């Protein structure tokens, strides 16, 4: 368990982790015991670890609530422009530690829990991940919420409260097996149900037209019950709200359709309504046109827009008007960001509200709608772009189909007026695709219905502008922008890599946590031998800790001095885990050919989930595990090469592996990865990148200098040229002996002796259907990996003598805990690092420092500032709302303290 801080450590306290004061600690202990008492009627001695976790979570939540209420009061009184971030995914992960950091309670909680005889890290491990996302898109939304709160923006995240999040992945006999993620089974201490704001959402029915306009009638109603989760900013007392909707059947659901004798069935059929928020669709970069998915997409936007309208209409503080009845100011008060096309039905839904309910003229309603919405595109892969069948939309949302047709007709009339004889242009730009099954192109709807369209990295935005939506960009070039993604440094440095966070703060001060561009000051320390050693030491401590985790979880002994070569992300052909696998086989074959040759030891770690219906992705997982089985059990290879497939990769596991990584694999085919954010997390945490010029890798190379990354392979123009010439995989196979050997081993059953033909589909795809050209980049990738090994080896010759002693967690003078301070005193012991230790790696670590110093651009704070100024037209606020223990000035607010805020 953690121990009290020494006087020297107390003096060393810096604000990034909060102050330890006797009053704070005593207050937290009182809160903890009070909540534990509420949880348990019995003796504390019978409390379970989960009871302790909930007591701690509720204690921390107590410190959120007052700030949450004050923030919402502040917004109600000042009536700022509100930002609404609509996303079908919010991949939040765990909340406890992040909340403690943002409230400045980290060390006080640590101390209080220690004094209560508990270990805070063990309690943190009990929390379930809120896995309400598949990968990058959902995690980006989570980072953006953190930044919007930190920047003082009046922002709200809106999504669905999935009862089951992204599936839990089990690996059995090398195969992925999916298990339900019942993340709510023990309850969620961070959310609050708000039944007073429950709203109706309509489906099906028919449309009646009359002199007064259109009316959507005979609909089936589903209720949307909101659950609010507080989102604290970093040390500014701002707490914004993420509101997630849960589907509920109304009391009379279907009862009118049944005789008395069918009452039981009628009640059971309530599930049909409540299934809407039951489960997250586990697809990433793939469109699945299921009716339930469309229901989910409309459900979230219909409930959200009602909520937005209610909040807009509510009287401004101090005004005599009970409601706003004029909508001219709507775009000045409301900005709605569509996170990809999933919430695209918000555009026809807002038009329906304005035209059918509020009785606005079409042109005025359309002008307000366009000025309100902005659209972020996240992919250029054709299979990922949403195209809903017209028949399905007509059945489920008949009025919306009519509105979409009207939007399309006016849009095409405008195009025809500009390009009178260009029928092909009309076809390309239509919202309705006519070939075969008529479909609605949701990206086109988003572009036409928004005032801003952005990609998420420079190269991606350029592809969007010049290729994917070229016609639209030529028509309205000012509409298209770039907003390079970012990550929150609070979770992805302070939380997951406290040793490095503290080391940086000691060198440049703690202000970098809110202004990551200050990392550039680290350039002054690139040649500082002491700083180089300290950075290398933090990395080695993280590796030792993760090696022990791997040994415990996977029963594979890992050499913590080996290079940790990590490739973690969703399993997809375009991300090219297969190319990594071929390199593993190549390294294996080289060791087997000459076991005496000097070889830089590597631990290759691959992790990620495959969509359950994605056959090839599942085969890739099986192949990686089959290769690992052979490599890890070959006595000739020994500790020179180990391969681990991380089971159930998720946010909380990313927080463990990223700080321990030496080499980050970002090897997608150029032009396919929109941005990536994992690449940024690795860069910030001191890993070097091997990658193609794709996504944000391009800008990372610009910031750090291409010489400080390991860049290889085809560029976008090379891929296009190869497409024009025709990609022939066979010629690479014939020309490259090591590639041929690796492929032949897969094909012959070397890695699947019981089923020689097991991987025939993989081999067939590589030769005949590989859109992502693995073989074309193989040679360049292997040569680049040789450069990686060379630098790692050369680096290892510098530094202290063989036998450098480092503490092992649980065995040394104490494990390295959060913020790099010693914890859990234990028996003396050390791990001997021979010459070649990462502790000694000077040249490598200098490159690491240059990367960290160049990572400032990739903060989500910077990204959100750009959205705020260029798209939402609001300014971030430096205002610090007074904390609950300080009185609010009556003159300022004009209301008694404690007035409940409006949601």
Burial category of 660 from C-beta neighbours within 10 Å (exposed 0-12, middle 13-18, buried 19 and up): buried
- Write down the catalytic residue from 229, 488, 677, 692: 677
Helix and strand totals (H; E) in the chain? 35, 29
Q: Would you state the pLDDT for residue 46?
A: 83
pLDDT at 95: 98
224 touches 299 (CB < 8 A): yes
Looking at 390-519, list the stretches that DSSP marks H as alpha helix, in order from N- to C-terminal side.
390-396, 398-418, 423-429, 442-448, 458-463, 470-475, 489, 498-508
Catalytic, 677? Answer: yes
Task: Please tell me what DSSP assigns to residue 124.
Answer: H
Least confident interval from 40-44, 454-458, 689-693: 40-44
Q: Is 570 a catalytic residue?
A: yes
Cβ contacts of 41 within 8 Å, gap of 6 or more: none
**What pLDDT score was predicted for residue 894?**
38
Query: Of 130-139, 258-267, 309-318, 675-684, where does mean pLDDT reach its minimum?
Result: 258-267
pLDDT digit string, tens, across residues 493-543: 999 999 999 999 999 999 999 999 999 999 999 999 999 999 999 999 999
- State residue 816's pLDDT score: 38
- Confidence check: pLDDT of 1 > 60: no
C-alpha closest to that of 51 among 62, 37, 65, 61 = 37
**Catalytic residue selected from 378, 465, 642, 857:** 378
Yes or no: say if 535 and 686 are a contact pair by the CB < 8 Å rule. Answer: yes
Instruction: Give which of 242, 273, 286 is closest to 132, Cα–Cα.
Output: 242
Answer yes or no: same fold for 79-93+129-482 and 560-795. yes
Q: How confident is the model at residue 802 (pLDDT cuts 50, 70, 90)?
A: very low
Query: Could you confirm whether 590 is annotated as catalytic?
Result: no
Residue 740's pLDDT is: 98
Looking at residues 332-352, what average pLDDT do you find?
98
Nearest in space to 222 (alpha carbons), one of 278, 164, 281:
278
Between helix 22-39 and helix 106-115 the angle, nearest 10°, is: 60
Average pLDDT, integer, range 823-839: 35
pLDDT, greater one: 633 or 24? 633
Query: Is 37 part of the annotated catalytic residue set?
Result: no
Q: Which of 569, 583, 609, 622 is catalytic?
A: 569
Q: Which of 399, 575, 831, 888 is catalytic?
A: 575
Task: Decide: 511 and 841 in contact? Cβ < 8 Å.
Answer: no
In the predicted structure, residue 43 carries a pLDDT above the cut 50: yes
Rg (CA), the chain: 28
Residue 825: pLDDT band with limits 50, 70, 90: very low
Q: Give the CA angle between residues 894, 68, 159 to the nearest 5°.
A: 125
pLDDT band (50, 70, 90) for residue 878: confident
Average pLDDT over residues 80-97: 98
- Give me the mean pLDDT over the 225-235 stretch: 98
Cα torsion angle, 581, 585, 587, 588, sign: positive
- Between 373 and 555, the higher pLDDT residue: 373
pLDDT above 70 for 8: no
Burial of 79 (0-12, 13-18, 19+ CB in 10 A): middle
Q: What local confidence, expressed as pLDDT, does residue 484 receive?
A: 98
> What is the spatial distance between Cα 705 and Cα 520, in angstroms, rounded to a whole number?
13
Please report, for residues 175, 603, 626, the alpha-carbon distance to residue 629 in angstroms, rounded to integers and kept in the order given.
13, 14, 5
**Paired strand residues for 373:** 336
Q: Is 815 a catalytic residue?
A: no
Cross-strand partners of 208: 215
CA distance 518 to 516: 5
The answer to whether 880 and 237 are in contact (CB under 8 A) is: yes
Band (618; pLDDT cuts 50, 70, 90): very high
What is the average pLDDT across 32-58? 85
Which pLDDT belongs to residue 839? 38
For this structure, is 656 an active site residue?
no
Q: How far apart are the first and last CA of the chain?
A: 40
Higher pLDDT, 369 or 4: 369
Would you say residue 453 has pLDDT above 70? Answer: yes
Q: Give Cα 342 distance to the centre of its chain.
A: 16
How far is C-alpha 415 from the chain's CA centre?
38
The whole-number pLDDT of residue 257 equals: 57
CATH architecture of 79-93+129-482: 3-Layer(aba) Sandwich (3.40)
* CA–CA distances in Å: residue 373 to residues 47, 130, 330, 480: 50, 28, 11, 13
Selecting among 243, 479, 681, 821, the annotated active-site residue is: 681
Q: Tell me what pLDDT residue 7 has.
A: 43
**pLDDT for 54:** 96
663: left (phi over 0), alpha (psi -120 to 50) or beta: beta
Residue 889: pLDDT band with limits 50, 70, 90: low
Q: Which of 70, 570, 642, 842 is catalytic?
A: 570
Tokens of 710: 């390991």
Average pLDDT value for residue range 653-670:
98
Domain segments of the chain: what residues? 79-93+129-482, 560-795
Residues with Cβ within 8 Å of 815's Cβ and at least 6 positions away in sequence, in order, are 545, 807, 809, 822, 823, 824, 826
Burial of 850 (0-12, 13-18, 19+ CB in 10 A): buried
pLDDT (0 to 100) of residue 800: 35
Tell me the two tokens of residue 13: 């306290």
Token pair recorded at residue 115: 């004094």
Count how many residues are written for the chain: 903
CATH superfamily of 560-795: Glycogen Phosphorylase B; (3.40.50.2000)
Number of Cβ within 10 Å of residue 508's Cβ equals 16
CB half-sphere exposure, 287, CA atoms < 13 A: 22
Question: How crowded is residue 14: how many other Cβ atoms within 10 Å of its Cβ?
Answer: 15
- Which two structure tokens, joined as six digits, stand for 200? 């109706």
What band does 42 get if pLDDT is binned at 50, 70 and 90? low
> Which two structure tokens, joined as six digits, stand for 230?
């507080």
**What letter does residue 195 receive in the DSSP assignment?**
G
Lowest mean per-residue pLDDT among 330-339, 403-412, 837-846: 837-846
Both tokens of 763, joined, read 């081999």
H/E stretch holding 746 reads helix 737-748
Tell me which residue of 436, 429, 255, 442 sits closest to 347, measured CA to CA.
Answer: 442
Question: How far apart are the C-alpha atoms of 657 and 113, rounded to whole Å?
Answer: 26
**DSSP state for residue 6 in the 8-state scheme:** P
Burial of 152 per CB tally in 10 Å (0-12, 13-18, 19+): buried
Q: How far apart are CA 113 and CA 52, in angstroms?
A: 10
Is a pLDDT exceeding 50 seen at residue 805? no
Alpha-carbon gap, residue 611 to 615, rounded angstroms: 8
- The verdict on pTM exceeding 0.85 is yes
Tell me the torsion sign for CA atoms 446, 277, 456, 876.
positive
Bridge partner residues of 175 (DSSP):
172
């Amino acid at each position: 368990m953690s121990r009290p801080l020494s006087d020297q450590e107390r003096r060393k306290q810096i604000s990034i982790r909060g102050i330890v004061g006797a009053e704070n600690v005593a207050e937290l202990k009182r809160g903890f015991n009070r909540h534990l008492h509420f949880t348990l009627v019995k003796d504390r001695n019978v409390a379970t670890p989960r009871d302790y976790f909930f007591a701690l979570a509720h204690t921390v939540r107590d410190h959120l609530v007052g700030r949450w209420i004050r923030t919402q009061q502040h917004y109600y009184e000042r009536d700022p422009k509100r930002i609404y971030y609509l996303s079908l995914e919010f991949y939040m992960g765990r909340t406890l530690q992040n909340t403690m950091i943002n409230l400045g309670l980290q060390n006080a909680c640590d101390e209080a829990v220690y004094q209560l005889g508990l270990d805070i890290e063990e309690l943190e491990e009990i929390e379930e991940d809120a896995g309400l996302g598949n990968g990058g898109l959902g995690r980006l939304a989570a980072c953006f919420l953190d930044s919007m709160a930190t920047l003082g923006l009046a922002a709200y995240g809106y999504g669905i409260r999935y009862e089951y999040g992204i599936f839990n992945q089990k690996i059995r006999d090398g195969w992925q097996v999916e298990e339900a993620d019942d993340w709510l089974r023990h309850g969620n201490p961070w959310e609050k149900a708000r039944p007073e704001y429950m709203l109706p959402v309509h489906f099906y029915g028919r449309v009646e037209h009359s002199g007064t306009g259109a009316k959507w009638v005979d609909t089936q109603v589903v209720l949307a019950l909101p659950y609010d989760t507080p989102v604290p900013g970093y040390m500014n007392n701002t707490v914004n709200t993420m509101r997630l909707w849960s589907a509920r059947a109304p009391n009379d659901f279907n009862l009118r359709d049944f005789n008395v004798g069918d009452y039981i069935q009628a009640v059971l059929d309530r599930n049909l309504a409540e299934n809407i928020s039951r489960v997250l669709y586990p697809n990433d970069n793939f469109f699945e046109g299921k009716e339930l998915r469309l229901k989910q997409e409309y459900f979230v936007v219909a409930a959200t827009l009602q909520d937005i309208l209610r909040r807009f209409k509510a009287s401004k503080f101090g005004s005599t008007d009970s409601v706003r009845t004029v909508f001219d100011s709507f775009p000045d008060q409301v900005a709605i960001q569509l996170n990809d096309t999933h919430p695209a039905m918000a555009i026809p839904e807002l038009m329906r509200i304005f035209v059918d309910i509020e009785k606005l003229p079409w042109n005025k309603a359309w002008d307000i709608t366009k000025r309100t919405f902005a659209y972020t595109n996240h992919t250029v892969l054709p299979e990922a772009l949403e195209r809903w069948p017209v028949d399905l939309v007509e059945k489920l949302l008949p009025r919306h189909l009519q509105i979409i047709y009207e939007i399309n007709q006016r849009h095409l009339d405008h195009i025809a007026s500009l390009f009178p004889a260009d029928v092909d242009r009309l076809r390309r730009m239509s919202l309705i695709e006519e070939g075969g099954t008529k479909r609605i192109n949701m990206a086109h709807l988003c572009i036409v219905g928004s005032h801003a369209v952005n990609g998420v990295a420079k190269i991606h935005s350029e592809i969007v502008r010049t290729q994917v939506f070229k016609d639209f960009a030529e028509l309205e070039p000012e509409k298209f922008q770039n907003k390079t993604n970012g990550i929150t440094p609070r979770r992805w440095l302070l939380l997951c890599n406290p040793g490095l966070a503290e080391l940086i703060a000691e060198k440049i001060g703690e202000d970098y946590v809110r202004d990551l561009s200050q990392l550039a000051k680290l350039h002054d320390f690139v040649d500082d031998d002491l700083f180089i050693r300290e950075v290398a030491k933090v990395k080695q401590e993280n590796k030792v800790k993760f090696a022990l985790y791997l040994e415990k979880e996977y029963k594979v002994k890992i050499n913590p001095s080996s290079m940790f070569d990590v490739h973690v992300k969703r399993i997809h052909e375009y991300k090219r885990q297969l190319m990594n696998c071929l390199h593993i086989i190549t390294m294996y074959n080289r060791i087997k050919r000459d076991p005496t040759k000097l070889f830089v030891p590597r631990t290759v770690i691959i992790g990620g989930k495959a969509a359950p219906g994605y056959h090839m992705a599942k085969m890739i997982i099986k192949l990686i595990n089959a290769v690992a089985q052979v490599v890890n059990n070959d006595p000739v290879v020994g500790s020179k090469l180990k391969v681990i497939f991380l089971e159930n990769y998720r946010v909380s596991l990313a927080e463990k592996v990223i700080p321990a990584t030496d080499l980050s694999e970002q090897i997608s085919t150029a032009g396919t990865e929109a941005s990536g954010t994992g690449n940024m997390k690795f860069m910030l945490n001191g890993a070097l990148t091997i990658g193609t010029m794709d996504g944000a890798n391009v800008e990372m190379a610009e910031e750090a200098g291409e010489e400080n990354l390991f860049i290889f392979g085809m560029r976008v123009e090379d891929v296009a040229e190869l497409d024009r010439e025709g990609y022939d995989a066979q010629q690479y196979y014939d020309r490259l002996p090591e590639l041929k050997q690796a492929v032949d081993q897969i094909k012959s059953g070397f890695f699947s002796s019981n089923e020689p033909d097991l991987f025939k589909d993989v081999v067939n795809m590589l030769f005949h259907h590989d859109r992502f050209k693995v073989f074309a980049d193989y040679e360049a990738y292997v040569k680049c990996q040789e450069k990686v090994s060379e630098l790692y080896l050369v680096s290892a010759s510098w530094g202290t003598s063989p036998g450098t002693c480092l503490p092992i967690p649980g065995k040394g003078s104490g494990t390295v805990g959060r913020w790099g301070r010693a914890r859990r005193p234990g028996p003396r012991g050390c791990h001997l690092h021979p010459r070649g230790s990462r502790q000694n790696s000077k040249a490598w670590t200098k490159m690491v420092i240059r990367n960290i110093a160049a990572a400032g651009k990739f903060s989500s704070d910077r990204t959100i500032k750009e959205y705020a100024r260029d798209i939402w037209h609001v300014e971030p606020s430096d205002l610090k709302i007074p904390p609950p223990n300080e009185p609010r000035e009556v003159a300022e607010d004009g209301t008694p303290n404690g007035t409940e805020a409006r949601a």
